[in-house]
Chains A and B, each alone.
Chain A
């Protein structure tokens, strides 16, 4: 029984990690290519979730809702990039932090203004609800399993795109030397908008997928954003592979920490105290992991340079 529960929790951790990857991949790409720290990435996650919830309520179709989340977030990304972000590439990080913080305020209050303060709900469709039997008699939520598979597929697609396609070559070239690829005739401004839209779409997609498990509400993006930062710090900035490993590590540490730490403390303490101490420590586990990585590799696991 306990092993089955452990495997279930491991799968939950994997699902959480895969979703974090979708957020962190966009952030790390945007930083790698444009050198921009984007706090408003969480807002794009929120935009995706709200678009999905709105379209699902209107059409009743979950697939259309997912498509809407991709389109809405990418569109919001393009608009924001062209109006604001574009002016920030040459600025220092402080200006970028402040401007994107201002964008969070505008996005959050704007969403509250349009949709109201009450959380929305996005239902999982019938063909994804219920549970599925895995080998060894493990029963697991069909929807969460679908998230893991879709997330892994997106990750594989992203790796393929970066490694094999022309656009991926341009992105990697942009990471190495942006003046040079400009000189070689690549339209940098369009490349930047494209990368930003791609990151935004990934964030929006993650928001929609998670929105069906949790509630869709204003401010849902920022906690995830901060976790994505932890992922990037662990994985190393600018590295997609680092983002993937970091996301899985963070997802597993957080989920398994919440599950195992109270049990572990229960061996040496009375149950109520063990639950309290275990839960408090579990909420700090990923940050302790981050501090540990910082001690031994300040540039992150796969980071090449410490900028």
Chain B
């Protein structure tokens, strides 16, 4: 049997076992760390659709992470202040229900990805990197200067949003929700990667001219991938905001974009489960190195540099060998 599926299984079991063990030994902080890892993993899996499958180096995925976060923040803010979101043409109230918030976050970030993707994908290469980065920065500054939802200070949501039948304030139950969503997202992305669309996207990544010769329009393939990618990252943003019960412009910052990309790279670009490994490794590093030194970003930078220069496949490349070229 190939090593990659085994690695996937071990990873997912570990990611479930650690918080369960922490729950039994009553260590809620570890559960929160695991929840962070799972949420970051969802964001990374989202970026991986654009980056790994489509070869689109987006340095602006914080934008969708932030849009998801603010979707949650704005809806919950209106629910907790009992002020309707809009009065006209019909009254729309805020909500504290997670499924509704998730839906809004996914739709809002998909729309954002459609608009920004349609513009950015007119260019390729370095232009695309710079433009995605710039658009994310635009949202960052907008969030800072728009005072209605906290401006620079962000806003706090006092009680975590609810999910029917669950007590989301219980760390392990909230973790379970996020873990379930991660499984769902992984399944969807795995299906996409093997669908005719996913295969065509991979073909366009490897050779745009050949995809065109087969009658495909690369722009459309890329845009679809970018929208799916943005929507998944938006979902992660909503979950992250709910985990912290706090949203702030930091979610839009370029550091966030960089970190989401780091999850993908540490794990291994283009592998469906790669970002999960990367996000878990990131949290472990943050926790262990963060305890070691106040300046742990130096070590993170050094590790990242080492991975990029010497171990290009990331964790999966090291453990599971080279990616298979054919199915």
Hey, which chain A residues are within 8 Å of B123, CB to CB? 294, 298-299, 306
Q: For the complex formed, measure the closest distance between the CB of A92 and the CB atoms of chain B, giving whole angstroms.
A: 8
Establish whether residues B125 and A93, one from each chain, have CB atoms under 8 Å apart when the complex forms. Answer: yes
Choose, from A94-102, A154-162, A178-186, the stretch at the interface.
A94-102
Task: Contacts A84-B305, A284-B138 given; indicate if A97 touches B145 (C-beta within 8 A).
Answer: no
Question: Is B21 an interface residue, CB under 8 A from the partner?
Answer: no
Residue from A87, A93, A109 in contact with B297 in the complex, judged by beta carbons closer than 8 Å: A109
* Residue picked from A37, A84, A87, most chain B C-beta under 10 Å: A37
Question: Is A134 an interface residue, CB under 8 A from the partner?
Answer: no
Q: For the complex formed, measure the closest distance between the CB of A305 and the CB atoms of chain B, giving whole angstroms.
A: 10
Choose, from B72-80, B100-108, B127-135, the stretch at the interface.
B127-135
How far does the alpha carbon of A223 sit from the alpha carbon of B51 in the complex, in Å? 24
Q: Which residue of B lies closest to A258 (CB)?
A: B145
Question: Is A31 an interface residue, CB under 8 A from the partner?
Answer: yes
Question: Is A233 an interface residue, CB under 8 A from the partner?
Answer: yes
Residue from B57, B133, B309 in contact with A94 in the complex, judged by beta carbons closer than 8 Å: B57
Choose, from A59-67, A169-177, A275-283, the stretch at the interface.
A275-283
How far does the alpha carbon of A222 sit from the alpha carbon of B307 in the complex, in Å? 23
When each residue 252-289 of chain B gets 1 if its CB lies under 8 Å from chain A and 0 otherwise, what string results? Answer: 00100010011001000100000000000000000000
Hey, which chain B residues are within 8 Å of A230, CB to CB? 130, 134
Question: Is A295 an interface residue, CB under 8 A from the partner?
Answer: yes
A-B Cβ contacts below 8 A, count: 126
Hey, which chain B residues are within 8 Å of A31, CB to CB? 126
Hey, which chain A residues are within 8 Å of B302, CB to CB? 102, 106
Establish whether residues B141 and A99, one from each chain, have CB atoms under 8 Å apart when the complex forms. Answer: no
Question: Is A103 an interface residue, CB under 8 A from the partner?
Answer: yes
Task: Contacts A84-B309, A102-B308, A280-B145 given; indicate if A306 touches B134 (C-beta within 8 A).
Answer: no
Hey, which chain B residues are within 8 Å of A93, CB to CB? 57, 125-126, 129
Residue from A98, A104, A283, A294 in contact with B131 in the complex, judged by beta carbons closer than 8 Å: A294
Hey, which chain A residues are within 8 Å of B51, CB to CB? 94
Question: Is A12 an interface residue, CB under 8 A from the partner?
Answer: no
Residue from B119, B130, B141, B254 in contact with A295 in the complex, judged by beta carbons closer than 8 Å: B119
Hey, which chain B residues are within 8 Å of A136, CB to CB? none
Hey, which chain A residues are within 8 Å of B297, CB to CB? 105-106, 108-109
Establish whether residues B305 and A233, one from each chain, have CB atoms under 8 Å apart when the complex forms. Answer: no
Establish whether residues A226 and B133, one from each chain, have CB atoms under 8 Å apart when the complex forms. Answer: yes
Q: For the complex formed, measure the closest distance between the CB of B85 and the CB atoms of chain A, giving whole angstroms.
A: 18
Hey, which chain A residues are within 8 Å of B146, CB to CB? 276, 280
When each residue 23-44 of chain B gets 1 if its CB lies under 8 Å from chain A and 0 otherwise, what string results? Answer: 0000000000000000000000
Residue from B125, B127, B133, B308 in contact with A99 in the complex, judged by beta carbons closer than 8 Å: B308
Hey, which chain A residues are within 8 Å of B130, CB to CB? 37, 229-230, 232-233
Establish whether residues A287 and B135, one from each chain, have CB atoms under 8 Å apart when the complex forms. Answer: yes
Establish whether residues B304 and A102, one from each chain, have CB atoms under 8 Å apart when the complex forms. Answer: yes
Question: Is B88 an interface residue, CB under 8 A from the partner?
Answer: no
Establish whether residues B300 and A105, one from each chain, have CB atoms under 8 Å apart when the complex forms. Answer: yes
* Residue picked from A104, A276, A279, A291, most chain B C-beta under 10 Å: A291
How far does the alpha carbon of A298 sit from the alpha carbon of B59 in the complex, in Å? 18
How far does the alpha carbon of A112 sit from the alpha carbon of B258 in the complex, in Å? 20
Question: Is A110 an interface residue, CB under 8 A from the partner?
Answer: yes
When each residue 223-241 of chain A gets 1 if its CB lies under 8 Å from chain B and 0 otherwise, what string results? Answer: 1001001101100010000
Q: Assuming A93-B57, A101-B261, A276-B146, what are 7 further A-B pairs, CB within 8 angstroms?
A: A102-B304, A106-B302, A109-B301, A110-B298, A112-B295, A113-B295, A280-B142
Which residues does A use to contact B, with CB under 8 Å?
31, 37, 84, 87, 93-95, 97-99, 101-106, 108-110, 112-113, 222-223, 226, 229-230, 232-233, 237, 276, 279-280, 282-284, 287, 290-291, 294-295, 298-300, 306-307
